[in-house]
Chains A and B, each alone.
Chain A
Amino acid sequence: MNTILKTEKLRVEFKTRQLGKATTKVALNGLDLAVQAGEVFGFLGPNGAGKTTTMNVLLGFIQPTGGAAYLFGIDVRQPIARQRIGYLPELTYYYKFLNAEEILRFYAKIFKIPNAEAEKRIDFVLKLVELQHARKRLIKTYSKGMQQRVGLAQALINNPDLLILDEPTSGLDPVGRMKVRSIIQRLKNEGRTVFFSSHEMGEVETICDRIAIINNGELKAVGSVSEISSQHGANLEKAFLDIIGFQPEAVA
């Protein structure tokens, strides 16, 4: 199979200074991941496990301390590696002084999409995220759910082969969550590769072909939902808690 996203012994350290004392926090420790073309890959882990850090490395926002990461076989440090991807950050805010159409046109220009084609793509993605009626309204007048859908629209403007979504449904109401999920489902049906992080186990069970679970910057498990659940003789949520070493009695 064709590997679209790959990390090799990825390591990220953050150096901080507390009370004058230099400390090093290891955010990722030798992470090896491989996502194949056409699969929906869920990236799970508790808060602070290293999910967003992994995405930040993949998108070139931070430099790894060690190891390497590749998108479509190209080192992520090269901007061209991001030509065929779409990215939706966890908290989406867009230029408040622009409307949805202008934002999408701006991003289309960055992808060097010809004007006529860009207009068609803008129509298509706005229809997909059900924002056609509000295309001329300034973003600052949008609700949170609408802003998240603009985020999804901008992630799809270049018709990407790989979508990287960082907790795409967090903070949305049930209707908003359902709409975002149905869009991901549609992309899956179209054969696109989706790499996304989530805390919603039900969502992961429904959509994902394979999942990876990380904790404290280390990969703990990789496989299909059924494989991981059956290995731990429980449903995904219990398997997840088991893998990250959560002990309910400690809370009680």
Chain B
Amino acid sequence: MKIICAVAGVAVKELYRRKDFYVLLIVTILICLVMGSVNVFNDDKVIRYLKELALLLIWISTLIIAITTTARQIPAEKEQRTLLPLLAKPLSRNQLIVGKFLGCWVACGLALICFYIFFGALAASREHAWPLLNYFQAALLHWFALGVVVALALFGSLVFAAPSSNSTICFVIVATILCLGRYLDAVALAQSEPIRSIFYAIYFAIPHLEIPFGMRNLIVHNWPLVEWKFIALDAIYLLAYIALFLAAACLVFRRKPVN
């Protein structure tokens, strides 16, 4: 575990010594502050739209951080040849994969905390309320969803040579799941065989990231808390996908030449 934590620590340090995270945080803050300073259409409930927009920006920013940070981990190690002295140590390839995953996931978690603190302050300044448990539920599932994205990008970084192609493919997959994932079963119903089975297979195979994405409504509309057992079930569901992608990454990396 000490080895995995050491590898993870370097990945976390990398994120916080690069500019990506700070740029995204500042851009999100600026957009939200500008939007929050004007009352479009004189709507009293404009805060709802502001919250919706801020959460959408937070989702986009954290997805960018998760995918771009993870996609370059192994390719950058290869390109800069830091992988050689690293693998020449008593470190297994599986430990490296798990360490990289953990580092990127924790880094995303820390970024998420910063984003949600800003969001909380923004919302509280208008609503004068701190529904902390709602925030916690939404942020927790958001973090688990980012875990799936990180594991997917890590797997992709071993399959696709260039980080840019991997990042693009991951963005397309995640955006498709977020936008269309929930409708696939309905689309399948309208199809004839064998297309129906194919759509159903895709529907059941993909990780439904739109579930944690939908948790935004809990905060936007001030809905009551979701029962904790459902949060736990969704977390377990997302953890299963994380394990699946990590296992696939370990399998691909196991015998891959690194010279």
Contacts and interface: CB of A to CB of B under 8 A. Distances in A.
Chains A and B form a bound pair: yes
A63 interface: yes
Interface string B81-93: 1101111111110
B170 to A, nearest CB: 23
Contacts of A52: 259
A95 interface: yes
30 contacts: A52-B259, A56-B259, A59-B84, A61-B88, A61-B257, A61-B259, A62-B259, A79-B91, A79-B92, A81-B90, A82-B88, A85-B88, A87-B84, A89-B81, A92-B85, A93-B81, A94-B82, A95-B14, A95-B82, A98-B13, A102-B13, A106-B6, A106-B10, A107-B85, A107-B89, A109-B6, A110-B86, A110-B90, A112-B2, A155-B85
A93 B82 contact: yes
Nearest to A97: B17
Contacts of A241: none
Contacts of B5: 109
A89 B85 CA distance: 7
Interface residues of A, number: 36
Given A79-B92, A93-B81, A94-B82, A60 B87 contact: yes
Interface string B1-45: 011011101100110011000000000000000000000000000
Interface in A59-109: 59-63, 79-83, 85, 87-89, 91-98, 102, 106-107, 109
Given A59-B88, A110-B90, A95 B10 contact: yes
Interface residues of B, number: 27
B85 A110 contact: no
B229 interface: no
A154 B86 CA distance: 10
B80 interface: yes
B258 interface: yes
A151 interface: yes
A246 interface: no
Nearest to B15: A97
Contacts of B7: 110
A94 B89 CA distance: 14
Interface in B54-112: 80-82, 84-92
Contacts of B82: 93-95
Interface of B: 2-3, 5-7, 9-10, 13-14, 17-18, 80-82, 84-92, 255, 257-259
Contacts of A60: 87-88
B85 A87 contact: yes
Given A52-B259, A61-B258, A63-B255, A111 B81 contact: no
Interface of A: 52-53, 56, 59-63, 79-83, 85, 87-89, 91-98, 102, 106-107, 109-112, 151, 154-155, 164
A47 B8 CA distance: 37
A22 to B, nearest CB: 17
A232 to B, nearest CB: 32
B91 A110 contact: yes
B18 to A, nearest CB: 7
A109 B85 contact: no
A89 B89 CA distance: 12
Contacts of A106: 6, 9-10
A170 to B, nearest CB: 14
B87 A61 contact: yes
Contact of A87 (B2, B3, B88, B91): B88
A142 B6 CA distance: 24
Contacts of A63: 255, 257
